[in-house]
Amino acid sequence: MNKINKLFKVIIIGLMVFLTGQILINPLIAVSLSGTEIMELVDENQFLESARMESKMEINDGRRVSEKEMVTYIKNDGEDTKANVEFINPRDRGARYLLLDNELWMYFPDAEDLVRISGHMLEQGMMGSDFSYQDALESEKLTDLYNFELIEEDILNNRPVYIIEGVAKDGEEVTYYKRIFFVDMERFVVLKEEMYAREGRLLKLRTVEEVEEIEDDRWIPTRMVMEDKIRQGTETIYDIREIDLSYNISEELFELESLQ
């Protein structure tokens, strides 16, 4: 009987030590976070200082499925994002995009001039996909653009999530007036996102199918499906096949001269 009592005490003490340790180690469990704080953690999680990615886009426009493969180089100094995208699938081979000083430049093998994309063109589907150029190139921190509010906590695909509503800050020019994020409570990665127009119409739905731990306790979505709800019966699957955060990226890649 004494043995049982001792064993019971050991278990209770052990549990208390474990829980105390968890609370000390991960203060987030003990402290309730605001919507903005959660999204700051998401921003930090998704922030890539430097990366080389190989990815694939599968575009289903309801009639035909086409695939785009690309290699992307990204550098971000915390204020500006520079990105160089090179398409490597046969149909688009040689086409390159350069995001520089918040402007998008394009190079096409059959064109003599670089093309600068601006205005409404940025709202068009990138390569006919459900991702607009603005979706793909969004580099500002979400917390700079939106006011966030934690709506509720829920379960999504067996994962506990925060449901957070972001409404555009006054004076900020954003593509979507309102966005609802389903943020994984433990990994601080967005698992689902709904994007709305000012009048409340659902414009796009992004669902994350896979997330990957790229560094210790740092997760990013690596496979997602975007559905443009204005178009009918279309979806685009974006799949990051390889990501290298330690790749030595030459600055030349981000110069206009090197685009041609």
Partner 1 sequence: MIDYLKIAWRNLSRNYIRSLIAILAIGIVVAIVVFSRGTIVGFGDNSYNMYIDYQFGHARLINDDYEHRQSLLSLDYTIDGLEEADLNGMIMEIERLEEVEYILPRIQFGAVYSGDNLIRMAGIGIDSEREMFHGVIERDLIIGRLPEADNEIVIGSGLINELGYDYGDRITFMYSDVYQSLQGRTFEVVGISETGFSEIDDNLFYLPLNTTQNMLGLENQVTELMVFTDSRANSYSLKNELDLLISERDTRDIYSVIHWEEGNPMLEILLEFDNFWALIYAGFILMGSVVVISTLKMIIRERRGEIGMMSALGLNNKDIMKIFIFEGSFMGILGSLSGVTIGGFLTYYLSIHGLHVKAYADTVAGTGMLIDSAFYPIHSLENLIISFLFGGVIVTIACLYPAWKASRLDPVDALKVDA
Binding site for partner 1 (CB under 8 A): 59, 61, 63-64, 66, 68, 91-92, 95, 106-108, 110-113, 115-121, 125-129
Q: Which is nearer to partner 1, 44 or 103 (CB)?
A: 103
List residues bridging with 156 in a β-sheet.
159
Q: Which is nearer to partner 1, 40 or 128 (CB)?
A: 128
Closest of 124, 128, 133, 164 to residue 41, by C-alpha = 164
CA angle 227, 196, 124 (to 5 degrees): 55
Q: Which is nearer to partner 1, 100 or 185 (CB)?
A: 100
Closest contact distance (angstroms) between CB of 130 and partner 1 is: 11
Structural tokens at position 89: 């699938």
What is the spatial distance between Cα 107 and Cα 88, in angstroms, rounded to a whole number?
13
Count of C-beta atoms within a 10 Å radius of residue 207: 20
Q: Which is nearer to partner 1, 187 or 204 (CB)?
A: 204
Closest contact distance (angstroms) between CB of 95 and partner 1 is: 7
CA 170 to each of CA 40, 42, 131, 167, 177: distance values in angstroms, whole numbers, following the listed order: 19, 22, 25, 9, 10
Closest contact distance (angstroms) between CB of 230 and partner 1 is: 13
CB 53 within 8 A of CB 72: yes
Closest contact distance (angstroms) between CB of 72 and partner 1 is: 16
Residue type, 12: I
Structural tokens at position 11: 């278990």
Closest contact distance (angstroms) between CB of 86 and partner 1 is: 14
Residue type, 21: G
Judging by DSSP bridges, how do beta strands 50-60 and 159-168 pair with one another? unpaired
Q: Which is nearer to partner 1, 132 or 143 (CB)?
A: 132
What is the spatial distance between Cα 88 and Cα 103, in angstroms, rounded to a whole number?
22
List residues bridging with 208 in a β-sheet.
224
Reported residue count of the chain is 260
Closest contact distance (angstroms) between CB of 241 and partner 1 is: 20
Q: Which is nearer to partner 1, 14 or 62 (CB)?
A: 62
Q: Which is nearer to partner 1, 11 or 115 (CB)?
A: 115
Closest contact distance (angstroms) between CB of 113 and partner 1 is: 5
